[in-house]
Structure 1
Amino acid sequence: MSFQKTILDNGIVVITEYMPSVRSISLGLWFNVGSCDELPNQRGLAHFMEHMMFKGTPTRTPFDISMHFDRLGAEFNAFTSKEYTCYYARFVDDKLESALEVLADMVINSSFSTEAISTEREVVLEEIARSEDTPDDYVFELFNQSMITDHALGLPVLGDKRLVSSYEHVDCVSFHDQHYGSGNLCIAAAGNIDHDALVKLTQAYFSSMNTLEKEQRNQDRVAYQSGCFSVTRDIEQAHIIYGVPGLALGDDRRFASGVLTSILGGSMSARLFQEVREKRGLAYSIYAMQGIYQRAGQWCVYAGTRPDNVKEVIRLIDKELTSLADGSLDQDELQRNVDLICGQAVLGYETTSSHMMRLGKRGILGSQHLSIDETIERFKQVTVEEVVSIAETLFSNKPTIAVVSPLEEKELQALISE
């Protein structure tokens, strides 16, 4: 399957992938704005704006919007990340125009009424509270803020309660005028979609959108901080993130890094799962992951364990990372993990939604478009030497360790340093 791309006169990018074997279409409006684009007095505003887009326009109430998509038999939602915001829907192919017209109305003409802001502010505050009450989520925020201290990439997408509580109509209008313009928009669609038809509909329904050039982000170097950071909570487990600086978007070593991540914590046969859970029973959940951004990256391991096991779990993580960096990898283990990655890639690429998400993310970030076959081929080309090399590079950095647990900070520091 191949994609088609058109850039309209006002800067809107339209990307589609035709999938003739399906009747559905997944459509996403991807905006080049996320939490890393907020000013210090706007923390959480990108996410708050995502909520407000569903809260009515001059011609539609919030209930009208919800009912419209219900009548289409569609799924629709949105999400905000550090570098983009996406409004998406999945529907039957003959509902394209009806779905696109309402999505356009939402992102162009939202009213940001005082009443709606007042109500939605409370909803977002509840969302923040829920995140803070979920320790295996909150430990990632602690890790991000501790590792990246002087950059918006390290701050929570949800923002902080004080600022979220202060946002008013003028704040929403100003943010909308600055970021929700034509040059900052990529429309991605996959499924039984006619590219030219979508281009014409986009020209019709987005003609009134504020014309802006695509914003270019500051490319200042992101500084990282190592050390151990903790928060004390009245909970049963200790939630641990052990991480190091990772690769940024577009780095050619990302395929080797992906294999590295799989080897250490990508499956039930992964080294950390076997050593920490299967052999010693020290954790229920342990896995490795990487976060890749335009200007920075993070590579980390998550583990949840009882407080008495924290020192041993951290020791085992460090041991396995060091072992791999020292070259303890053979061709059989490499091939097994490449096969796993390729198989999961194919399985995860069977829906219109997965195709659309892939198109949209790459389109809005300006990264290379590779087909699933091209991606698989790149993973198949990864060598033992490349995995060991990226392990040496990543794990030569001093780690950032974040822990949310019932232990007081002094207790935790004493336990780890014993």
Structure 2
Amino acid sequence: MHSDDSLRPDGADTGVRRTVLPGGLRVVTEHVPGVRSASIGVWVGVGSRDEGPTVAGAAHFLEHLLFKATPTRSALDIAEAMDAVGGELNAFTAKEQTCYYAHVLDEDLPLAVDLVSDVVLNGLCRASDVDVERQVVLEEIAIRDDDPEDLVGDAFLSALFGDHPIGRPVIGSVESIESMHAGQLRSFHLRRYRPDRMVVAVAGNVEHDHTVELVHRAFENRLDPSVEPARRREGRFRPNRAPELERSHRDSEQAHLAFGVRAFGRHEGERRWPLSVLNTVVGGGLSSRLFQRIREERGLAYSVYSSVDTFADTGAFSVYIGCQPENLGQVASLARGVLEEVAADGITDAECARAKGSLRGGLVLGLEDSASRMNRIGRSELSYGNHRSVSDTLARIDAVTTDEVSAIAKTLLSRPYAASVAGPYRRTRELPASVRRLVVS
């Protein structure tokens, strides 16, 4: 037995169809006219947020490990099967979800469903593979450490959220990865990777009923009708410390600064779109205040932007800037001044209109292929359990008012800052005073 429905929130036909298989496995599809491709993603509602401190990085480590072997395929078999059809097979891990995905010709969808499902459900956690893949993950940590932009991004979330799981790097630490063993990863896989916590999202030149048959066949031995679907992650983020300043010493030609505030969770829907407009106005494009003030008017930085991270029950609004060390103090003052100015005075009608146009265009242009459509419906099903049509989303963006954005700015940008710096600073007192003043202990 399974249940089917076409998803029509607010009476709008999204073009997305959903079937819930026994035990709660959700299958969502979207037919994309005019393409000859198909993209499948198996989304698991598990990420680094689900780890204890002793297994930090386990979700990401496991994502690597499951591709090494299944009972019927070696790592080479998996790679050759996908290469033989010219497809792409990969995965990523985030704070609250992991996704295993493939992008293939429409005629090769059966292979893609079988291959991705085999990896997710049956990947072996052999000790020999753990030892090999451990070195790969350690190399990935080293790459992160060599990229100051990534490094300050991870450090900023740690400074903002403390030792809460949201604040820990998805990739883990050298210490946690070196100490992790096969038994821990095997247990993490068996306990967390349950069909009732999964969504199979498929988009492209696909037919819903045929896709459901393929998924049912691949998951057949795991569909237990007695299992109730897992509830979506809910709750309330409770910080365990005030925002802080973190410093990473690097003998580099540039200084890298990230700073910002705690923002809203994704279920605070009324604030979602005004926040997106605010982010676009402050640092989301070439006409944004930060880009104009710091790069165009003064030439003090090449890369300067703002961004939003959204989790179930909290989030982050942050600014990133890379500049020469001798300019860091001036850049920090200018960037803080932009945020304080917007918090005090709000934004203009012209800025609001321009930002909404940017968001509308970015949304539509970003959904031009089956892979992006798969990502959209997979994330939406896993995070919200519903789907809005593109036209409905565009209408929501259009409905945002200048006053709403200004009110969000006043609330958000008056909160305490956290900050992280990477650069040639061996001691915190060597940082410019304007950087140290960003964070008030």
TM category, shorter = over 0.9
Of residues 279, 285, 297, the one that matches 1:261 is 279
Of residues 111, 114, 122, the one that matches 2:127 is 114
1:141-220 equivalences in 2 (<5 Å): 141-209=154-222, 211=224, 213-214=229-230, 217=233, 219-220=235-236
Match of 2:4 in 1: none
**1:384 aligns to 2:397 (yes or no):** no
SS of alignment partner, residue 165 of structure 1: helix
Change in 2 beyond 3 A, CA 1:111/1:324: same
User: What residue identity is the alignment partner of 1:322?
Assistant: E
Change in 2 beyond 3 A, CA 1:3/1:415: closer
**1:411 aligns to 2:430 (yes or no):** yes
Length-normalised TM-score, structure 1: 0.96
Change in 2 beyond 3 A, CA 1:5/1:368: closer
Tell me if the contact between 1:250 and 1:367 (Cα under 8 Å) persists in the aligned partners: no
Cα offset for 1:218? 6.4
> How far apart in 2 are the matches of 1:168 and 1:151?
23
**1:44 aligns to 2:57 (yes or no):** yes
**1:239 aligns to 2:252 (yes or no):** no
Tell me if the contact between 1:222 and 1:295 (Cα under 8 Å) persists in the aligned partners: no
> How far apart in 1 are the matches of 2:231 and 2:272?
26
SS of alignment partner, residue 136 of structure 1: helix
Of residues 307, 315, 334, the one that matches 2:325 is 307
User: What residue identity is the alignment partner of 2:431?
Assistant: L
Match of 2:10 in 1: none
1:10-409 equivalences in 2 (<5 Å): 10-209=23-222, 211=224, 213-214=229-230, 217=233, 219-223=235-239, 225-251=242-268, 252-366=270-384, 368-407=386-425, 408-409=427-428
> How far apart in 1 are the matches of 2:57 and 2:183?
15
Cα offset for 1:215? 5.9
Change in 2 beyond 3 A, CA 1:258/1:368: farther
Tell me if the contact between 2:267 and 2:313 (Cα under 8 Å) persists in the aligned partners: no
Cα offset for 1:367? 5.2
Q: Deviations over 1:227-261 (max 9, x none)?
A: 43212211111101120111111221110110110
Cα offset for 1:201? 1.4
Change in 2 beyond 3 A, CA 1:328/1:186: closer
Cα offset for 1:376? 1.1
Percent sequence identity is 37
Tell me which stretches of 4 or more aligned residues in structure 1 moved more than 3 Å. 210-213, 215-218, 413-418
Aligned residues: 418
Q: Deviations over 1:22-63 (max 9, x none)?
A: 111111000010000012221100001100111011211100
Length-normalised TM-score, structure 2: 0.91
Unaligned runs of 5+ in 2: 1-13
Q: Deviations over 1:89-117 (max 9, x none)?
A: 11111111111112121112112222211
User: What residue identity is the alignment partner of 2:58?
Assistant: L
SS of alignment partner, residue 345 of structure 2: coil
SS of alignment partner, residue 162 of structure 1: helix
SS of alignment partner, residue 326 of structure 1: helix
User: What residue identity is the alignment partner of 2:341?
Assistant: S
> How far apart in 2 are the matches of 1:321 and 1:101?
50
